[in-house]
Structure 1
Amino acid sequence: MMTNTFAQLGWFNAMLYLLARGLAAITGGRWTLFRYRFVAQPIGDTPLLPLRGTDIEIRLPAAHEALPPDYPRPANVIGQRYAQGARALAAWRKGRLAGFLWLIQSAYQEDEVRVRYLLASPHTSWDFDVWVRPEERLGWVFRKLWEAARLDLRQRDIQWSCSRISAFNAVSLRAHASMGAVNMGSATFLRCGAWQWMLASLPPYVHLSRHPASYPQLTFQEPSCPLFNKSARS
Structure 2
Amino acid sequence: MWRKFAEKRRALGTADTLWFVIDAVLRRLSRGAAKAVKYYLVAQPVDAGGAVTARGSIRLYVAEGVDDVMRQAPRPEATLQSRFAQHSRCVVAERGGELAGFIWWCPQSYREDTVRCDYHWYPAERARWDYDVYVAPPFRMGRLFSRLWQQAHQHLGDERVDWTLSRIDAFNAGSLAAHRKLGAREIGRAWFIVAGRLQLMVATAAPYVHLSLGQRSVPALRLNISDLPPAQDAAP
Alignment correspondent of 2:105: 103
Match of 1:171 in 2: 174
The alignment-based identity, stated in percent, is 33
> What is the RMSD computed on CA atoms of the aligned residues?
1.8
Equivalent residue for 1:118? 120
Tell me if the contact between 1:40 and 1:223 (Cα under 8 Å) persists in the aligned partners: no
Q: What CA distance in whole angstroms lies between the structure 1 residues aligned with 2:54 and 2:65?
A: 29
Report whether the alignment pairs 1:146 with 2:149. Answer: yes
Using structure 1 for the length normalisation, give the TM-score: 0.90
What does 1:186-225 correspond to in 2, within 5 Å?
186-222=189-225, 224=227
Aligned counterpart, 1:20: 23
Q: Which runs of 5+ in 2 are unaligned?
A: 230-236
- 1:172 counterpart letter in structure 2: S
Deviation sequence 1:32-74 (CA, Å, 0-9, x none): 1110001001112441x76463432111112253455532111
Partner deviation per Cα, 1:4-38 (whole Å, 9 max, x = no partner): 21011110000101111121112110001110001
Cα contact 2:69–2:94 (8 A) shared by 1: no
Count of residue correspondences: 225
Of 38-47 and 190-199, the range deviating more from structure 2 = 38-47
Q: Specify every segment of 5 or more residues in structure 1 that has no aligned partner in the other structure, as ranges.
A: 227-234
Are 2:77 and 1:75 equivalent residues in the alignment? yes
Please say if residues 101 and 134 of structure 2, whose CA atoms lie closer than 8 Å, have aligned partners that are also in contact. yes
* Greater shift in the superposed pair: 194-203 or 134-143: 134-143
Residues 22, 68 of structure 1: alpha-carbon distance in 2 compared, 3 angstrom cutoff? same
Q: Supply the AA of the counterpart residue of 2:157.
A: R
TM-score between the two structures when normalised by the length of structure 2: 0.90
Q: How does 1:58-97 map to 2 (within 5 A)?
A: 58-63=60-65, 65-66=67-68, 68-97=70-99
Shift of 1:89: 1.0
Amino acid at match of 1:86: S
**Higher deviation after alignment, 62-71 or 6-15:** 62-71
Q: Which residue of 2 aligns with 1:128?
A: 131
2: distance between equivalents of 1:94 and 1:77? 25
C-alpha change, 1:69 and 1:88, in structure 2 (3 Å) is closer
